[in-house]
């Protein structure tokens, strides 16, 4: 996917994609118990990957301009983080 994004949108997009997908690879290498504990302790930080994932997905699958993809991803990321914030408050009671 990183190579496809680089070919389609240039080297800067390739760096963004590599950083985004690299974080996912690192996340998958950490033991599950550690990942779950970290996500419970820092739910907003855990949800922050949503925006970059939405951006990379839109850039890869659509012909939208990158600024449009960025605007949609920013809005989607904010909605995701808002939902996580509400759920974490609800869990705490």
User: How many CB atoms within 10 Å of residue 54?
Assistant: 20
**pTM as predicted:** 0.84
Give the integer Cα–Cα distance in Å for 47 and 25: 16
- What is the spatial distance between Cα 59 and Cα 64, in angstroms, rounded to a whole number? 7
What number of CA atoms fall less than 13 Å from residue 47's CA on the CB side?
19
Model confidence pLDDT, tens digit, residues 4-58: 999 999 999 999 999 999 988 998 899 999 988 988 888 888 888 999 999 999 9
Domain map (residue ranges) of the chain: 2-92
Count CA within 13 A, CB hemisphere, residue 77.
21
Provide the Cα torsion 77, 53, 50, 39; round to 10°: -160
């Amino acid at each position: 996917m990183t190579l496809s994004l680089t070919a389609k949108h240039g080297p800067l997009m390739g760096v963004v994609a590599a950083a985004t997908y690299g974080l996912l690879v690192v996340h998958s290498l950490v033991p599950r118990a550690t990942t779950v504990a970290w996500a419970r302790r820092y739910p907003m930080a855990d949800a922050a990957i949503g925006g970059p994932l939405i951006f990379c997905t839109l850039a890869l699958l659509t012909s939208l301009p990158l600024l449009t993809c960025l605007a949609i991803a920013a809005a989607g990321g904010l909605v995701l983080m808002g939902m996580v914030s509400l759920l974490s408050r609800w869990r705490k009671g």
